[in-house]
Amino acid sequence: MCQIGDSEPQLRPSPSPWEEDPENGSPHKSHSHSAASSESDGLDPSDEGITSGSEEQRTPVKLPLHQIKAPGSVQALAVDDDVIFAGTQGGDIVVWSLETYELLATVPAHKESVLNLTLSDDKTLLFSAGADAIVNVWSSESLQRLYSIYSHFEIGDVFCVVHSTKIQTLFWGAQNASIQWYKLSTDTAVKFPTSALSPGSRKHRFFDSLGPGGTANVVADEGATNGLSNQGGRVLTAPSCNYLPYAHKSYIYSMLLVKGLFTPGKDEEVLITGAGDGVIKLWSIDDLAESGPKQITKFKNADSNVLSLSYRGSFLYAGLSDGRAHIYNLASNQLVQKLQVGHGDVSQILVSPESILCGTSQGWIKRYDDHFAELESWQAAAGKILAMGLTTTPDHDMLVTGGNDSVVSFWSGKPGSHDSAATSARSNDELVNALREFVAYRTVALNPMCVRDCHEAVTFLRKKCNAFGATTRLLSPQEGVDPILLARFPASKPGKSTRSILFYGHYDVVDAELDASSSNPTWNGDPFVLQPLDSFLYGRGVTDNKGPILAAIYAVADLVQHGSLSCNVTFLLEGDEEAGSRGFRQTVQSAHDAIGPVDYILLSNSYWLDDHIPCLTFGMRGVIHASVTVTSNRPDLHSGMDGKSVQHEPLKDLTVLLAALVGPSATKVTIPHFYDTVDELSESEVKAYASITSSLLPGHPEIKNEKAFALSLMQRWRYPNLTVHRIEVPEAKTAVTISGSAKATLSIRIVPSQTAEQIAQSLTDYLHAEFAKLQSSNTLAVTITSRADPWLADVNSEIYTALKDAIIDVWNPDIAAHQQRAFKMSAGGNSNHNNAPDTDRAGVASTPPTKSRPAQAAASSSTAKTDPPTRTSHRRASSLATTGFFPPSTLPREPLFIREGGSIPAISFLEHEFNAPAAMFPMGQASDNAHLDNERMRVENLYKGREVLKRVFARL
């Protein structure tokens, strides 16, 4: 039964996948409960049915593969091979990708709720039925409306619709208990008349009734007459003779077409309907022109509404309003089984080759096997489950659910399946499951409470690598520092010319806290529980650097399984990068021979310039961190009693020194010869910056001045800079205290051709020289706390060529070959869908899909909305103020070659240590929020990042 949503959108929390056994504390799975064997002919409908066992014995915990916030109650679902269509309470059809969960399009489909969606057998046509008494026919490839069909009669809501490919006929069941049909290929097309028969012209029985005194309150209905025709497609009228009134005694909620029921192997079709009168009827549709549907038989269910139907083979499955599911053998016309599902009405029922799935009005799903034994049950929604769908892809079987909690949830289609490591490497779902487990480890290097998690995390990684065929060892940097994992995957067919790649990453993260007591929490959920939501994966470390690490490991595992790993790949994964990589250099130097010769070093620890165009990073600035401390040989003094103009106070001395570093303008470093080795801006560089700007400009109108934007990139990427981060004095006892010491922390970002050692020494010498000029009685101490050399790569090297080619292939696939949807080129998201992600790289192809379509599927116009969706604001990893929106024709096909202003000390060290060039492959978007609240990574970026690395490892 399709019901209007009555609850606020609410996502299920992400609990632990297993609960602990109350007796021994060990994890355990939910128990299966066997049902009785199939009952015989003559089963009494009043029997209580098979129960599912005690609820207290069960652990109903199951994690969704992903969840999407829909723009309203989800009333209907139709699942295609690569996308899912959802019908909402607001009358829209919303489309998401099944692979990446990206919003692809939102179409205004009906003036009231969309109550049913179904696909044709060849999946080229989509049919929608709504509370506006209209049945629409769409191209599933382009989301163009082809036809709008309405009735001559007042039929009320249309709850269900099915299509017979054999006879090219649509059937639908309505609120007034009637069945109607329309033969698309031969019935006369009647243009939308502006008469009393038009849906927009008909009077509503309540709202258009006469008021006091017999007068009508006329309110203009916007688009009442031609609102449908304005949205494209032909408007058709179902012939009045194609109408069977009183097919049931109540609303017809469900409808099926079953093939080969009486003669197996034949394509004869039988129409099956279920209604609010508790009756299921079978109809012959062989002679529609003469007599319409003819009733063959029926099954009665006393005091229960038939809300949903499904079938497999000769068995019919019915979900009832009393919490039961009935199973009939249609070959023998017998009720053979009853299942007492419970948890409210059985609003949805589906069957797969392996199981029976029942969804209830209290948000529960129960799964049974072919012997009617319960396999599992779980709370799948915060409200009523109103729609369910099943699909099978090369990677997985997937169950999709939707309801009045305005959430579409994706679940594993198989109960309790645990693939072997060899099988799991083929699945992106397994990659996400591994990331879920990886994120759960709170790997904060400087938090003593997280020591165990850090060691368990590196053990988790080691086991993964071992299972995929690597030889591994742990390196201990020093006491109190987390281990470094060294995992080596040998080439599948090693030879003298086999290359060796060293992949560097880190598994430690910046700490994060969830303030659950706050009225405005900074995180959407627990930072250390992966939350798959709206095509993103949220959690601490998903983008920095746990997601890219696992994507690289799984990319290698794919190639190992197929015997196509063309190079040796060694993973060097440390657990102290966020804490300064303590002991990393010495440990790597000691293990130099164990790591072996290296041809290329690869990292994935940076981000795109925006959210749309993939990038390759080829340069980063170096950094020197320093502290400058001025100390008096006297204790704290009183400014009134002891202060005098000729006295050198520590804070005043420190202020003079800091001012001397940046000069009167405070924008130029005054250390002698500081800029002497900075490279002059070449003509080729100017062209490169101009090219980046021109590539971004079509999607970023906030770029008002191209030259100014290019200059801002240069200032952050290729010029040095000095920043004073903090000035500290000991806590003053009163507001008039002269502190006995003052300390400043600062950093200098340096560029290629400068060296950290040289600049650190120049900084130290200059500060001491300036301090000597003060003739102060105080003492100066300059401490270099850390340093890292800058890094600049050759973009024409073999590894960058391989990365570039792989990115072009992965992010710009041949659309005709991959059967991309035409609506993905032209349809954006609904601007009212506030939580939707950006309209993605839609439209990288200019040719429509090649899947054949029926001749009648020629549409006049598209109704897909093209406004880009709004989104929750995220901090940027670049100076671009927005995520941008690119028209399809302006999105670059090639990645941008960029530099970054930040620093990763390990890059230059590893290059020098192994005498090998490094390359940086950014996997995340600019809005990933690394180190910030609600850190996230887009599912598509994770999957395609894995595929890019897979191609690179197969090529080098």
Within 522-580, residue ranges assigned H as helices are 547-562
What tokens appear for 887 in the block?
A: 């028209």
Active site residue 222: no
Q: Token digits for 441?
A: 């480890």
Q: How far apart are CA 529 and CA 540, in angstroms?
A: 8
Catalytic option among 511, 574, 576, 577: 577
If residue 115 lies in a helix (H) or strand (E), which one and from where to where? strand 114-119
Angle at 481 between CA 477 and CA 483, to 5 degrees: 60
Which of 149, 153, 155 is CA-nearest to residue 182? 149
Amino acid at 127: F
Nearest to 584 by CA among 462, 445, 465, 712: 445
Do the beta carbons of residue 135 and residue 173 sit within 8 Å? no
C-alpha 697/C-alpha 464 separation (Å) is: 43
Please give the full DSSP string across 572-637, using - where no structure is assigned: EEES-GGGT-TTHHHHHHHTHHHH---SEEEE---B-SSSSS-EEEEEE-EEEEEEEEEE-SS--E
Fill in the amino acid letter for 258: V
Strand partners, 270: 258, 284
Backbone torsion region of residue 41, taken as left when φ is above 0, otherwise alpha when ψ lies between -120 and 50, otherwise beta: beta
β-strand 252-259 against 145-150: which pairing, if any? unpaired
**CB–CB of 529/14 below 8 Å?**
yes
How far apart are the C-alpha atoms of 952 and 956, rounded to whole Å? 6
* Backbone φ and ψ of 116, nearest 5°: -155, 140
Distance CA 202, CA 208 (A): 9
566 token code pair: 């063309």
Could you say which of 508, 534, 578, 928 is catalytic?
508
Helices (H), 161-238: none
Question: For residue 738, what are the contacts with CB-CB under 8 A and spacing of at least 6?
Answer: 636, 637, 638, 639, 642, 643, 649, 651
Closest by CA position to 96, among listed 78, 111, 113, 122:
78
* Beta-carbon contacts of residue 328 (< 8 Å; ≥ 6 apart): 280, 299, 315, 316, 317, 318, 334, 335, 336
Would you call the peptide bond into 545 cis, given omega within 30 degrees of 0 as the criterion? yes
CB 343 within 8 A of CB 308: no
**What gap in Å lies between CA 545 and CA 573, rounded to an integer?**
10
Residue 707 carries which DSSP code? H
DSSP 121: T
Active site residue 508: yes
375: which 2 tokens?
Answer: 């396999």
What is the dihedral sign for C-alpha 905, 907, 908, 912? positive
| Rounded CA separation 861/867 (Å) | 17
Give the active site residues: 508, 577
